[in-house]
Structure 1
Amino acid sequence: MSTRHGHRTGRQNRQHAGIGKGFACLVLAAMIIGVLLLDLAAQSSQVANQTRIHTLDPTARSRLNTIFMATMILGGACGSGIAGLAYSAWGWSGTCLFGAAAAAIALFLSRRS
């Protein structure tokens, strides 16, 4: 309840602060779990793709791995650059739209081959 002037009492402020802290901890825990799952998925994808390229020519593993890693770095750099341009032009919505479009294109290309 509030006092007669509409201000909260100290007890009410502590209760609201406790709820806020609990929610913040829950959000932080969810974010940490999400980051760990994304990292696990990215690592799994990279290992699976490296396994696929190494079966192409077992005698050229080093060269194939060099091409694979250079392509990954170049793709990441291009994606980051385009996402930065999308953010500067259209804000967070443009960045999310670019990410969704890139994922859709990757899915389409992976299904074609």
Structure 2
Amino acid sequence: MFLVFGNHPKANSIKERALVIIKFLKGKDWVDLNDIQKELNIDRNESPSMFYKPLSAMKRWKLLDSKRQVTGGRGVHVIYTTYYKFTPDHFLTYLKDTLYAVCDTELKMFK
């Protein structure tokens, strides 16, 4: 969690919510966003920043993958549902690629 959120004291509450999300998603396939909302016990319409901050940071670091599917509606009024999945393999690949790119850049500077 330190890599994703840093070590600032204000990030502690975000880290706690992120750990709840990871524990909830671990071992499950695609999970509906509404189920995550129930697990966190935070209404995403009333306080969207408290709900989406951990999700967006984990998506940026490839800890989570998301997809949207059409679940209803007709014509121009289409209803989408967002699903999330815990992807630790993508996170590891992202770390390796990032580390390799940084090291490669640093080594080229000394040639």
What TM bracket, shorter-length normalisation?
Answer: under 0.3
Query: Per residue, is there more strand in 1 or in 2?
Result: 2
Higher helix share: 1
TM-score (norm 1): 0.27
TM-score under structure 2 length normalisation:
0.27
Higher relative contact order (CA 8 A, sep 6+): 2
